[in-house]
Amino acid sequence: MPSPDFTAPAPEKRDLPADEAVPCRIWTRGPNGVAPALRKTTFEWRSDSAWADNLHPEDAGRVLARWERCSDAGLLRRCDYRIRDAGGGYRTIASRGIPVRDGAGRIVLWAGVDLDVTGRDEPCWQTKELCTLSAVARAIEGCADADVVFRETAALLPGGFRHPELVSVRIEPGTAVPEPGRIVAGIDAGERSPAYLVVECRKRPEGSDDPFVPQEHALVRAVAAMLGVAIAPAHTPAASTGHQYRLLFDQMPDAGLLLEILRDASENPAGFRIVWINRKAAESLGRPQEEVVGEDLPKAVPAIGTTALDLFYQVAATGRTVYREVSTPETGSFYELKVYRPQYDLLVVIAEDVTERRRAEEMLREQRIALDNRVRELATLYAVSGVIERPGNSVEEVLRDVAVILPAGWLHPEDAAARIVVDGREYRSAGFVESPWRQESPIVVQGRIAGRVEVCYRHPRPEDDGALFLVGERRLIDAVAGRLGRVIERMRANKDIGRSEEKYRLLFERMLESYTLYEVIRDDEGNPVDYRISELNEKAAEVFDRSREELVGQRLFDIFPAIREGARALYGEVAETGLPVQRRLQEPRTGRWYDLQIYRPRAGMLAVTGQEITEQKKAELALRKSEERFRGIFEQAGTGIALIDPDGRIMEANPALVRMFGYDEDELYRMRSYDLIYPPDREEAGSLHQETVLRKGIRREKRYLTKDGRIVWGRLTTSLLHDSGEGGLVIAMLEDITDWREMQNALGESEERFRQIAQRSFDMIYTCYHDRGITYISPAVARILGYTPDELIGRRCQDYVAPSSLPVWEEGREKIARGEPVEGLEVEFRRKDGSVAFLELNESPIVEEGLVVGVQIVGRDVSERVRYEDMRLQAFYQIEQNIEQFAVLADHIRLPLQVILGMADLADDEAMSEKIREQVDRINAIVRQLDEGWVESRDIREFLRRNELV
């Protein structure tokens, strides 16, 4: 026994697995596995002799056999059993034990943990006590040096305590006395000097209180017993020990080799020679044991690899036991090697063939990876669906959120990034960059490629089987692109319908079905109790038999109290879950039947569309009651009706159907329903009978071809009619909706004509929203301002207004904000070349849900008119200046002329005086002409002013 004091430093506080709520007992047993008495630490007292007698009869044979196998083979013991307690009831015990081996690899002790898991689903086996015992056992087995074993044990033991940071461990020679806050356990090392394992609490307890729990005392005693038997000298004769070891070695289930270590002059390992191999190794090599004894290892085992040999040299040189898994590439086999050095010149190799286990693990790993990929893809699709179905989302919000979600569906989401491009606008996830490692899928909207979905890796990735992306990822990106295309189509269609009030109202009023929009009324607990009518069409008003003005604002159950009980649950389910429901209901007041579609367009609202099917219901009831009544309805119905067998052949057709298609009855009876469908639509048509059976009736709109070649639109409604024949018949009701469809097409053509007019207009027409800027501008902008429409999309129109016109512009904005139109607003706009254009604007506010969200503007270029107006004003100004100058000039001339004329009268020379008078008369005539011109100019000016021309 060594004399130094092995003291462990204070361990760092760390989280160790523990389940202190589970009763725990620590035990030790001899190498033969004999069970000692169960302590009263956690269970009732049972003597060792009575342990087997108290096992549950169903568990006794299995538990004892398991003990025997583990003891013989030295395997880790795992066993669950039931045992009778002092009260006569049974407790469920979960036991785990580990073999403790000495430096030579011999089992010298068994140590383990028992847990009382009665009433628990799954016991926690990673307890701190079991972890500590296992770690100490490995330290004992891996080294024959007692000093090293003591040092490692002192470092490992605090991990088994509740508060390892407060525990210190040391091994003292001589004697040690237990006291409060200290656990002392003797290490029985046989002939060696006595020693004690001492565990102290760094925080001294007050009085006689013990800071340690019973299982911590048991843990110290168990570790002390493990140390004692591991370092004690063997008492059995060498020959007997060798014989037992050889017998155990030969009967091992794994291949074992005993090798002699060949050393060079420097005592370094230079090779290995076979001393003995066990039965399993001989079977693996296909050679008798005696034949390979004495051969060099590479010759006896040609398949041994470089990795295994390096491992043998390492253990031979250091003496440290090594566990490692190696492979044989030539055979594709895997072995788990356990190599240790029992003596200086001997090496023991235990090889367990784990090839099948590795293959199973690899297959399980591949399946788990495939499953993880599918789960990741499905989770991404689910998240995308959540974004798409979120109420109130715009197309831009959907595309932005989907771009953020998409990278999570790829194998390396931390390096993946996504970009969605639609109509030139981009929506990116964080960190997106242009990359050559990418894949994309087109977004098709209304038959044309409107954009694409891209997913890329920002850095090169190691490829699998030559493919950078998985097959499932290609399916995922195609599915997302296809879904986005359909969503964009739907959302744009909904947006167009919402902005085109006239078209919506026309369709709403003329639709053949009734439509009612309800506001959900809830009680104090939030449960739906009634439904207030918010909007309805004329067809629905006819059903209620009241005017629309009377119905709006009324409660449904006040109008129809008789349906309260039946409709409350049905309508309430849809209002709560949002899942649409289709029902056939009878209006109790009139007895009419309706086919209702009930759905929730948005939170707090409920919509009900209905088609009166009273005639159809009567036809069905009449068919079940008597053929005669059915025939009356069948013949007189205005809707086309046909009976169709499971093969799709027309068995009967009413006159309305005959008139619709123009065929004789005999001709129709030789045809199938498939033959009446417009040829390009036939590929999409499935079996009418199968679809009716699966969906319990179908309702759809299709194109059909008449005998004279006309294409008609029909609304088809089917139901299954059970009769005596096998499989039953399908009753199909076909309503001619050609006029209604033509009206829809006409509306579409009208919108297209309006767009073409706007595109060809001489004036500049554009739409500008507060949040998105300019969304549409006609091509005339290129002629007027020099910009192309694409350059202005998304920009604010105010950015192009000249500073001098900003006050006038802001005044127009204030009127638009109040919802008032603006007419004749003259504003200067900056052209692309820097010049200024005068535009006369007529503006109308765009109102959505009572709020002004934008403005629709028609601008006319009046630059030339403004320029001519400036020139005209300058001309009139010049005229006024001339008039004033004429008046001044006349006054300045008349006065000197009067003086000259007076001088002429006083002159003596009559001839000269006459000549002067003639010249004065000429000058006066000129002045009179100036006066006449001044008067005429003044009259013209006054005339222009009276007529607002100046």
Residue 297: both structure tokens together: 């290892």
837, 800 in Cβ contact below 8 A? no
Residue 343: both structure tokens together: 């003596």
Strand partners, 852: 847
**Highest mean pLDDT, choosing among 277-291, 464-478, 503-517, 902-916:** 277-291
Q: What pLDDT, in 10s, does the model give residues 223-282? A: 888 888 777 654 444 444 455 556 667 777 888 888 889 988 888 999 999 888 888 888
Q: Which of 338-352, 575-589, 598-612 has the lowest mean pLDDT?
A: 575-589
Q: What pLDDT, in 10s, does the model give residues 676-685? A: 888 888 777 7
Going by pLDDT thresholds of 50, 70 and 90, the confidence category of residue 46 is very low
Q: What pLDDT, in 10s, does the model give residues 398-425? A: 898 998 988 988 888 888 999 999 988 8
DSSP 717-742: EEEEE--SSTT-EEEEEEEE-HHHHH
**Highest mean pLDDT, choosing among 415-424, 488-497, 776-785, 859-868:** 415-424
Q: What pLDDT, in 10s, does the model give residues 364-388? A: 887 787 777 788 888 888 888 888 8
Q: H helices then E strands: how many in the chain?
A: 29, 32
φ, ψ of residue 722 to 5 degrees: the values are -80, 130
854, 768 in Cβ contact below 8 A? yes
CA distance 772 to 853: 10
Q: In what order do the strands lie in the sheet with 322-328?
A: 269-277, 255-263, 346-353, 333-343, 322-328
CA distance 770 to 845: 11
Q: What is the pLDDT of residue 236?
A: 42
Q: How far is the CA of 718 from the CAs of 583, 628, 690, 700, 734, in angstroms?
A: 15, 21, 11, 9, 9
Residue 470 has pLDDT above 80, yes or no: yes
Q: What is the pLDDT of residue 19?
A: 45
Q: What is the pLDDT of residue 892?
A: 65
**The tokens 């039931």 sit on which residue?**
82
Residue 95 has pLDDT above 70, yes or no: yes
Residue 395 has pLDDT above 80, yes or no: yes
Long-range contacts of 590-598 (CB under 8 A, 24+ apart): 590/545, 592/543, 593/617, 594/514, 594/543, 595/699, 598/570, 598/571, 598/574
Q: What is the pLDDT of residue 327?
A: 79
Q: What is the pLDDT of residue 417?
A: 92
Q: What is the pLDDT of residue 443?
A: 92
Nearest to 617 by CA among 609, 606, 605, 625: 625
Going by pLDDT thresholds of 50, 70 and 90, the confidence category of residue 752 is low
Percent of the chain with pLDDT over 70: 77
Q: What pLDDT, in 10s, does the model give residues 597-616? A: 888 888 889 888 887 777 77
Going by pLDDT thresholds of 50, 70 and 90, the confidence category of residue 664 is confident
Q: In what order do the strands lie in the sheet with 581-586?
A: 528-536, 514-522, 605-612, 593-599, 581-586
Residue 139: both structure tokens together: 């330290």
Average pLDDT of the residues in 429-442: 89
Of the two residues 628 and 129, the one the predictor is more confident about is 129
Q: What is the pLDDT of residue 235?
A: 43
Average pLDDT of the residues in 535-550: 81
Model confidence pTM above 0.75: no
Percent of the chain with pLDDT over 90: 3
Residue 174 has pLDDT above 80, yes or no: no
CA distance 463 to 52: 60
Going by pLDDT thresholds of 50, 70 and 90, the confidence category of residue 504 is low
Nearest to 27 by CA among 232, 228, 185, 225: 225
Q: What pLDDT, in 10s, does the model give residues 870-909? A: 666 666 666 666 666 666 666 666 667 666 777 666 666 7
Average pLDDT of the residues in 8-28: 57
Q: What pLDDT, in 10s, does the model give residues 50-78? A: 567 788 888 888 888 777 777 766 667 77
CA distance 130 to 219: 9
Residue 282 three-state SS: helix
Q: What is the pLDDT of residue 234?
A: 47
Q: What is the pLDDT of residue 510?
A: 63
Of the two residues 262 and 917, the one the predictor is more confident about is 262
Long-range contacts of 819-827 (CB under 8 A, 24+ apart): 819/845, 819/847, 819/852, 820/845, 821/845, 826/862, 826/866, 827/801, 827/802
Residue 37 has pLDDT above 50, yes or no: no
Contacts of 874 (CB under 8 A, 6+ apart): none
CA distance 807 to 11: 78
Half-sphere exposure of 165 (CA within 13 A, CB side): 5
Of the two residues 835 and 365, the one the predictor is more confident about is 835
Average pLDDT of the residues in 20-44: 57
143, 149 in Cβ contact below 8 A? yes
CA distance 297 to 259: 8
Q: What is the pLDDT of residue 424?
A: 86
Q: How far is the CA of 855 from the CAs of 806, 838, 843, 846, in angstroms?
A: 17, 19, 7, 5
Going by pLDDT thresholds of 50, 70 and 90, the confidence category of residue 442 is very high
Going by pLDDT thresholds of 50, 70 and 90, the confidence category of residue 305 is confident
